A and B are shown apart, each in its own frame.
Chain A
Amino acid sequence: MYEALCLSALKEGESAYVTQVNAGPAMDRRLMDLGLVRGTRVTCVLRSPAGDPCAYLIRGALIALRRTDADGVALERQAQAVPAGAVAT
């Protein structure tokens, strides 16, 4: 049982795990560089006065993203649903 949502729907203080990144080729690459890949835990930390952009905690760094870009990142609440960290030593 898990709930699917997108990054832009994440409320301040909420965390979830990335299932899919589909924000256009350029943004996908940039998000990947920032370490936002499948299985990454993200937390919505700040909301700007207009409500857009929001700042997310991604791998220890605070990154501001616009809603149009955050729309393309799919999340789910439970970490277990994504097979993450499955890399051999």
Chain B
Amino acid sequence: MIRVALAGNPNVGKSTLFNALTKLRQHTGNWAGKTVETARGEYDFKGERYQLIDLPGTYSLAVHSQEEAVARDYIQSGQADGVVVVCDATCLERNLILVLQVMELTGKVLVCVNLMDEAKRLGIDVDLSALEKRLGVPVVGTAGGRQEGLENLKSAIARLVGVDAPASPRREVQERVTLAERYAAQVVRNQEEGQLRRQQRLDRLLTSKSTGIPLMLLLLGLVVWLTVAGANGPSALLTALFARVGVVLEGWFSETPAWLSGILLDGVYRVTAWVVAVMLPPMAIFFPLFTLLEDLGYLPRVAFVMDHAFQRCRTCGKQCLTMCMSMGCNACGVTGCRIIDSPRERLIAILTSSFVPCNGKFPTLIALITIFFVGGRAGLLASLEGAALLLGTLVLGVAGTLACSRLLSATVLRGMPSSFALELPPFRRPRVGEVIVRSVLDRTLFVLGRAVAVAAPAGAVIWLMANVMVGNSSLLAHCTGFLDPFAKLFGLDGVILMAFILGWPANEIVLPVMLMSYLATGSLVEFDDLAALGQLLTQQGWTWVTAVCTMLFSLFHWPCSTTCLTIYKETGSVKWTALAVVLPTVLGLGLCFAVSATAKVLGLG
């Protein structure tokens, strides 16, 4: 097998090329630092098998960071039969610095000038054969996103394998940079200034003092609104569908012992069906919209606009990017924290990652908002109101993140902000079709699959707890009764707290567990009608104060089991993982206590 490493600056489309060549699905997006692990994939070309190693994107190989060490060690180890340095055609000059650096380590170098389509759109023309002459190594042009130039690239890689060229002599930094500048001046022609100016106009609109923050809130609000408004119909449809399937299944299970059909049907099936019905539609809307913004290159602009707030909290503005990822899934957000170089700032970002509500919390938040604050109404106005309130909840999550980051910076993780350099890549036209397919297949189904894998066994456990009798009442009732006095202090009740505890494997099942306990029928009951759900909760003594406290606790409590495990993996420390659990829990309980106590004193609710 022939081994070929892909090296290059961050965000030059390395992962897109990797995916196109290997048919694998490494996540891509228009911002620097997505590839946090070295991915490997294989492809066949003319009867030979090639292994492709996607090295982390780096600006240099001077070993200042983990990624650079990984990239440099691999290239120097001689394990690769060739190194492909992927360059961004829209920013060739800077990319050539790395090319020259790699050429000082090995002679088996192929330069792949990627994003040729983007460069063309921006009126930038790169003379590839002139570049080949200057550098003295083969140069290929590609447009990875459009699958253009891949065959050329493959045959160039095949030709590279036999080459035994010596590495070029070591250069000083200044010398390398000047050389890159000269080569770029000789091979790059900038024909059209108009496109660049258009890019800058868009940039100014999205980041300026008067429009930057309003537009950011508007865009986030729009995404949230489309999610809230669009998910209702499909959710109801799925619920109805699962109910029908449930009836059929009941027929099949009529002969089996009651306890078995109870576990399988009322436990596993109902909980799983609920999770799919309430989770799938919002995710299938949220993820593609979010991926579109990511593909466009908007996320680094958000980090740019928000950086000042993070700077004041003495943390890194890139934390904003990991928070965006946390909105999809907290565990992804935790892994994403590797883009933050400073260990102190990275740890702060990890510890506060669960402060941003993930997709799994959306259904609970949306349901409570609709029942208690929009009055269970439907229609455009109601969905706008609901979206505004959900947006408010998100903003509260961001505020919590900032406050806690500041607190950590002043206490256990004391320190000043480290240096910060964030690249704002050119806006790219989002590849709409591909974005939808990719985000639904890769993200939505991945997260849903994980939630279902958790929901199914959890369903069995919940059913058992609700049906195993100890004395006069069920195990579940005993537990909720035990928790009740404590929970009441915080404006919650035993059932709510128990639901959050049982929901540790996945936040999606919190609401169904709550319902199951309240109904004490020992199984999950379908609620396609939010008004009926509202009635049930009110009968159980819920007021708007209970709803606020439950929402607050949903926003700020222990991270789900997957996130906890990921935090442990990333930090390698039980102590930090414990802090990541304690921090949001204490904040959540504190806020709940404050709200319920204030309401009591003022005689509200």
Partner of B307, one of A29, A48, A84: A48
Query: Contact: B209 with A49, CB < 8 Å?
Result: yes
Q: In the complex, are the beta carbons of B207 and A48 less than 8 A apart?
A: yes
Q: A37-B174, A53-B317, A63-B421 are in contact. Are A85 and B181 (CB under 8 A)?
A: yes
The contact of B212 among A29, A34, A40, A48, by CB within 8 Å, is A48
Q: Does A79 have its Cβ within 8 Å of any Cβ on chain B?
A: no
Give min CB distance, A62 to chain B, whole Å: 4
Please determine whether B178 and A55 come into contact, CB atoms closer than 8 angstroms.
no
Q: Tell whether A5 is near chain B: CB-to-CB under 8 Å.
A: no
Measured in the bound complex, the distance between the Cα atoms of B422 and A49 in whole Å is 16
Tell me the bound Cα distance from A63 to B10 in angstroms: 13
| Pair B422/A63 contact, Cβ less than 8 Å | yes
Q: How many A-B residue pairs have CB under 8 A?
A: 135
Q: At the interface, yes or no: A10 with Cβ under 8 Å from chain B?
A: no
Considering only residues 300-318 of chain B, those with a C-beta below 8 Å from chain A are: 300, 303-305, 307-309, 311, 317
Complex formed: what's the CA distance from A17 to B206 in Å?
A: 27
Beta-carbon contact of B182 and A85 below 8 Å: yes
Report yes or no: B304 in contact with A84, Cβ–Cβ below 8 A: no
Question: Nearest chain-B residue to A23 (Cβ)?
Answer: B419
Contact between B204 and A46 (Cβ–Cβ < 8 Å)? yes
User: Please, how many residues of chain A have a CB less than 8 angstroms from a CB on the other chain?
Assistant: 40
**Cross-chain contact A47 with B209 (CB below 8 angstroms):** yes
Q: Which of A35, A68, A87 contacts B93 (CB 8 A)?
A: A35
Within B164-220, which residues are at the interface with A (CB < 8 Å)?
173-175, 177-182, 184, 200, 203-204, 207-209, 212-213
Q: Is A34 in contact with B418, judged by CB distance below 8 angstroms?
A: no
Does B60 sit within 8 A of A, measured CB to CB?
yes
CA distance A51 to B423 in the complex (A): 17
- A64 and B424: CB pair below 8 A? yes
Q: Quick check: is A66 within 8 A (CB to CB) of the other chain?
A: yes
A38 to B174, CA, bound (A): 8
C-alpha spacing A30/B317, complex, angstroms: 16
Provide the residues of chain B in CB contact with A49, threshold 8 Å. 207-209, 212-213, 305, 308
Whether A27 sits at the interface, judged by CB under 8 Å, is yes
A33: contacting residue among B59, B175, B207, B311, CB under 8 A: B59
Enumerate chain A residues within 8 angstroms of B181, measured Cβ to Cβ.
35, 59, 85
Closest to B418 in A: A26
Nearest CB of chain A from residue B376's CB, rounded to whole Å: 38
Does B235 lie at the interface of the complex (its beta carbon under 8 Å from any beta carbon of A)?
no
Decide: B177 and A35 in contact? CB cutoff 8 A.
yes
CB pair A26–B64 under 8 Å, yes or no, is yes
Q: Is A1 an interface residue (CB 8 A)?
A: no
Q: Are B94 and A64 closer than 8 Å at their CB atoms?
A: no
A84 to B181, CA, bound (A): 11
Within the complex, what minimum Cβ distance (angstroms) separates A77 from chain B?
A: 19
User: Please, which residues of chain B bring their CB within 8 A of the CB of A55?
Assistant: 203, 207, 304, 424
Nearest Cβ distance between residue B113 and chain A, in whole angstroms?
13
* Residues of chain A contacted by B179 (CB below 8 angstroms): 87
| B486 within 8 A of partner (CB) | no
**Least distance between A84 CB and chain B CB atoms (Å):** 7
Contacts known (A48-B308, A87-B182); A62 close to B424, Cβ less than 8 A = yes
Contact A66/B420 with A26-B64, A53-B304 known, Cβ cut-off 8 Å: yes
A59 to B303 Cα, complex, angstroms:
22
Provided the pairs A64-B424, A66-B307 are in contact, do residues A27 and B182 lie with their beta carbons within 8 angstroms? no
Interface contact B200-A45, CB-CB below 8 Å: yes
B421 and A87 contact, CB distance less than 8 A: no
Q: Are A65 and B305 in contact (CB under 8 A)?
A: no
Query: Given A52-B308, A59-B94, A66-B307, are A33 and B62 also a contact pair (CB < 8 Å)?
Result: yes
Contacts of B90 in A (CB 8 A): 60
CB of B97 closer than 8 Å to a CB of A: yes
B417 CB contacts on chain A under 8 angstroms: 66, 68
A10 to chain B, nearest CB (A): 16
A48 touches B419 (CB 8 A): no
Closest chain B residue to A12, Cβ basis? B204
- Residue pairs across A and B with Cβ atoms less than 8 A apart, 29 shown, are A26-B418, A27-B419, A27-B421, A30-B59, A30-B421, A31-B421, A33-B62, A33-B97, A34-B421, A37-B174, A38-B174, A46-B200, A46-B304, A48-B207, A48-B304, A49-B213, A49-B308, A53-B317, A53-B420, A60-B90, A61-B91, A61-B423, A62-B425, A62-B426, A64-B303, A64-B304, A69-B420, A85-B178, A87-B182
Binding site for A on B (CB under 8 A): 59-60, 62, 64, 90-94, 97, 173-175, 177-182, 184, 200, 203-204, 207-209, 212-213, 300, 303-305, 307-309, 311, 317, 417-426
Q: Which residues of A contact B (CB under 8 A)?
A: 23-24, 26-27, 29-35, 37-40, 45-53, 55, 58-66, 68-69, 84-87
Given contacts A53-B317, A85-B181, A87-B175, 10 further A-B contacts (CB under 8 A): A24-B419, A30-B419, A48-B207, A58-B94, A59-B93, A62-B424, A64-B300, A64-B423, A68-B417, A85-B182
